[in-house]
Structure 1
Amino acid sequence: MPQITVDYSDTMENAFDRAGFARALHEAAVEIAAARPEGCKTQFRPSAYTVFGYEDPEARGHAVVHVTIGLLAGRGDETKARLAEAAVELLREHVADAPLTLHASAEIRDLDPSYRKFER
């Protein structure tokens, strides 16, 4: 824990410093949500097809990035809000300016009580 997933439009592939973002977000999770550094895991999932509003998807003028962070239950709403704000700010810092409109968001949620894991 935390389980972090970053879904993003592939149009921003070359503009997104994923390694730098993951490192900074892990540091924020440790500082804000008392996560253990070795517990932070991030998966990046590029999307080949993003549709925004009524825009022709082939125009590819918009990019979407959404960060989902799953934490074990027990963090308050203020902690979750601070971590979400940090994630959005870190996206600002780790996505270079590109000739498209970027829509960035983050959501912090509690992991379901059924959450289990193992390591080898």
Structure 2
Amino acid sequence: MPQITVDCYHPSDDAFDQDGFARALHEATVEIAAAKPEACKTLFRYIDACQFGYEDPEDDEHAIVHVTIGLLAGRAEETKARLTEAVLELLGTYVAPEDGVTLHASAEVRDLDPSYRKFERV
């Protein structure tokens, strides 16, 4: 906990500073949601294809970055909303504009299901 997943479509490696984003996101998660720094982990998943309305996917005019943060239950809705807003601000900072590409950035902070368990091996 927290479980952070970043789904990405199109932003080039040069446009998205993943390392800087992850570090800043972990700091925000610790500050806003009282997470432990060592518990923060972020998984980046790149998507190969995406469709926007009726547009030709070959046009490459859109990029998507969606961040999902799963936290153990018990945080106030205001805390989750503050963290969501912080994520969007960070995306604006760490995803550079690309000519002719519209960035669609979104974020969600949700409670992990009560069945959540984790396992670590050293």
TM-score of the two chains, using structure 1 as the length reference: 0.97
Identify the residue that residue 33 of structure 1 maps to in structure 2.
33
Identity %: 70
Distance 2:65 2:12 in 1: 9
Report the RMSD for the aligned CA atoms in angstroms: 0.9
Structure with greater helix percent? 1
Identify the residue that residue 118 of structure 1 maps to in structure 2.
119
- Tell me if structure 1 keeps the 8 A contact 2:51–2:57: yes
The alpha carbon displacement at 1:53 in A equals 1.8
The alpha carbon displacement at 1:89 in A equals 0.4
Distance 1:78 1:47 in 2: 31
The alpha carbon displacement at 1:11 in A equals 3.9
Distance 2:10 2:47 in 1: 5
- For residues 9-28 of structure 1, the aligned pairs below 5 Å read 9-28=9-28
Distance 2:10 2:120 in 1: 30
Identify the residue that residue 61 of structure 1 maps to in structure 2.
61
Equivalent position SS for 2:44:
strand
- Structure 2 unaligned regions, length at least 5: none
- Tell me if structure 2 keeps the 8 A contact 1:3–1:69: yes
- Structure 1 unaligned regions, length at least 5: none
The alpha carbon displacement at 1:55 in A equals 1.3
The alpha carbon displacement at 1:48 in A equals 1.1
Q: How many residues align?
A: 120
